């Protein structure tokens, strides 16, 4: 794999694998950790979603990550998975958040080749392995954190990578941007909308919080085991006590 010296992406955020890094906590085995009306979220389900994020017995679930996972589940129940998926497919304008897979290529031409392959149905991981030149993206195979409209408030919205990011949607899920390296030569960036069914629990938490500007229906009975914190309907998130 070629290594290139280039500037960072305008919207670059920490990789998904390192998104949560504080508040390490060990929890007991009580069965229900949250409930929305009569639907319960069990400890086993929390453990399963934690495993999807790479937490293990040797690298235990953190308190912040647990709260994010629980908040995402509550949003799924209160808003509905179908509505979340539909809004997500509408891109940044509709959902208020976009979750991209990203690769950098050695030239704009290679970026166009990658985009053509993706639009033709090839898996992102396969194209990424062939053409990505950015070592910082390898650990997560190009999956970066979801980017919200708020994240873009202080960036140059006319930058080609931001324009491409904002254009992602289910109808147009692959975008190409051309950027300049430090030495002035050009390289390509390919952005692909992460499929809804590949969103991890943290992605879903961010999405559910962004989809609706209004608080979750006050008539819903939302409970969170106090070991984890409490549910704040205004921010649609689980917060720690204190």
pLDDT digits 0-9 by tens, 71-106: 889 888 888 888 899 999 999 999 999 999 999 999
Asked if pLDDT for residue 175 goes beyond 90, the answer is yes
Cβ burial, residue 226 (10 Å; 0-12/13-18/19+):
exposed
Distance CA 129, CA 194 (A): 17
Whole-number pLDDT of residue 27: 39
pLDDT at position 216, please?
A: 60
What is the greatest pairwise CA distance in the chain? Answer: 60
- What pLDDT is recorded for position 206? 87
CATH 3.10.50.40 positions along the chain are: 100-193
Give the burial string for 85-116 (b: 16+ CB within 10 Å, else e): bebbbebbeebbbbbbbbbbbbebebbebbbe
Task: Look at residue 17 in the predicted model and tell me its pLDDT.
Answer: 34
Q: Could you give the C-alpha distances from 137 to 21, 148, 158, 229, in angstroms and in order?
A: 19, 20, 24, 33
HSE, CB side, 13 Å, CA atoms: give it for residue 16.
30
pLDDT for the residue numbered 53: 84
In tens, the pLDDT along 27-39 reads 344 579 999 989 9
Please give the pLDDT value at position 128. Answer: 98
Fold of 100-193: Chitinase A; domain 3 (3.10.50)
Please give the mean pLDDT across all residues of the chain: 85
């Amino acid at each position: 794999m070629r290594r290139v010296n280039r500037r960072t992406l305008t919207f670059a955020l920490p990789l998904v694998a390192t998104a949560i890094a504080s508040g390490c906590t060990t929890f007991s085995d009580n069965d229900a950790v949250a409930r929305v009306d009569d639907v319960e979220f069990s400890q086993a389900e929390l453990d399963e979603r934690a495993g999807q994020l790479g937490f293990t017995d040797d690298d235990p679930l953190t308190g912040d990550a647990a709260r994010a996972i629980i908040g995402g589940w509550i949003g799924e129940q209160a808003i509905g998975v179908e509505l979340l998926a539909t809004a997500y497919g509408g891109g940044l304008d509709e959902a208020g958040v976009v979750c991209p897979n990203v690769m950098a290529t050695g030239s704009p031409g290679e970026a166009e080749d990658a985009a053509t392959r993706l639009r033709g149905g090839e898996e992102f991981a396969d194209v990424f392995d062939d053409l990505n030149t950015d070592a910082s993206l390898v650990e997560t195979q190009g999956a970066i954190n979801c980017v919200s409209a708020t994240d873009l408030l202080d960036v140059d919205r006319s930058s080609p990578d931001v324009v491409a990011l904002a254009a992602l949607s289910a109808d147009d899920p692959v975008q190409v941007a051309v950027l300049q390296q430090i030495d002035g030569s050009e390289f390509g960036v390919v952005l692909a909308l992460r499929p809804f069914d590949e969103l991890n629990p943290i992605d879903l938490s961010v999405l559910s919080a962004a989809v609706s500007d209004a608080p979750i229906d006050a008539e819903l009975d939302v409970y969170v085991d106090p070991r984890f914190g409490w549910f704040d309907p205004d921010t649609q998130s689980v917060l720690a006590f204190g």
